[in-house]
Structure 1
Amino acid sequence: MHLMIDGYTADRKLLWDHSRVKGFLETYPSILGMTSISPPNVVSYKGSKETDWGISGVVLIAESHISVHTFPERNYLNVDIFSCKWFDPDKAEHEVSKLFGVQRTKSNLIERGIEYLTDDEAEEGMLSERLSLADNEQNIG
């Protein structure tokens, strides 16, 4: 799964808070049932355009990674959660909104990665194969 969250009308002060972004990346994986495998890497950015300034961070998780990019002068942030493990996208979005004072979000969820059969799909496939074999045996005998 790859959830991309855009947060609009966020709290500018919270978006400038380096320790908040770092704390978010330290605690967010466990909130979503994931496992951090590195400490967060968080940096402040001040380029030539003030509207592009902000804080960016990433944490590696056993399931893939989580990143955040804040744009305080736009009251805006991006959060990406890429995971090979299922997580609740509504909960993920709610936690981002709560922590950064986001008034409105827009998100996009993409299914990615290797397709694995669910238990029900595997059982259905097994049953279908056995019934097919039984039919073939009856037709032969």
Structure 2
Amino acid sequence: MEKRRGFGKHLIIDGYECNPEKLSDINHIYNFLEGITDEIEMTKLMPPYVQEISKNPKAYQGFIIIAESHVNIITCPKDRTVIVDVFSCKDFDDEKAINYTKDCFEIRRMEYKSFYRGVDFPKQP
């Protein structure tokens, strides 16, 4: 794991060719948000919130607020896609988050990018 730089790390994951049943299961999405925060050792401040955001085509969005920032997810079962954002001022292991997401939604193809936000964020003397 790399040492913290800037204001925090932002990991974005785009998953394609996912299991559509898992993408449309609100309980599964809820459990994913619970589990990923445990996997990357973050502090939950509230339970996850998940809701259907579109009926035609169906789409779901969920998030969990953590002491270190948040995790957000959008699923589109018809397109078999999932989009996940993990932002944290505490460093975390990208590979754990990526592998957990891949396993949870049975992702066959994915893109991801990790970068540090606010690299020039003022530091206290």
Structure 1 residues 51-70: aligned runs within 5 Å: 53-70=58-75
User: 1:33 aligns to what?
Assistant: 41
Matched, 1:99 2:107: no
User: 2:87 aligns to what?
Assistant: 82
> Greater strand share, 1 or 2?
2
Q: Report SS of the residue matched to 1:24.
A: helix
Whichever residue aligns with residue 30 of structure 1, its letter is D
Instruction: Summarize deviations over 1:87-128 as a string: whole Å, max 9, x none.
Output: 111111110000011011101112014476xxxxxxxxxxxx
Q: Report SS of the residue matched to 1:85.
A: coil
Kindly name which structure, 1 or 2, has the bigger radius of gyration based on alpha carbons.
1
* TM-score, reference length from structure 2: 0.85
Q: Report SS of the residue matched to 2:51.
A: strand
* TM-score, reference length from structure 1: 0.76
Whichever residue aligns with residue 100 of structure 1, its letter is F
Aligned match for 1:11, one of 19, 32, 50: 19
Whichever residue aligns with residue 11 of structure 2, its letter is L
How many residues align? The count is: 113
Q: Report SS of the residue matched to 1:82.
A: strand
Instruction: Summarize deviations over 1:11-47 as a string: whole Å, max 9, x none.
Output: 0111001000001112211110111101111101225
Distance of 2:89 and 2:51 partners within structure 1: 26
Distance of 1:46 and 1:8 partners within structure 2: 19
Unaligned stretches of 5+ in structure 2?
A: 1-8
Q: Report SS of the residue matched to 1:34.
A: coil
Q: Report SS of the residue matched to 2:117.
A: coil
User: 1:126 aligns to what?
Assistant: none
> Greater helix share, 1 or 2?
1
Deviation at 1:76, TM superposition (A): 0.3
State, as a whole percentage, how many aligned pairs show the same letter: 34
Shift in alpha-carbon separation, 1:78–1:115, aligned structure 2, 3 A: farther
User: 1:21 aligns to what?
Assistant: 29
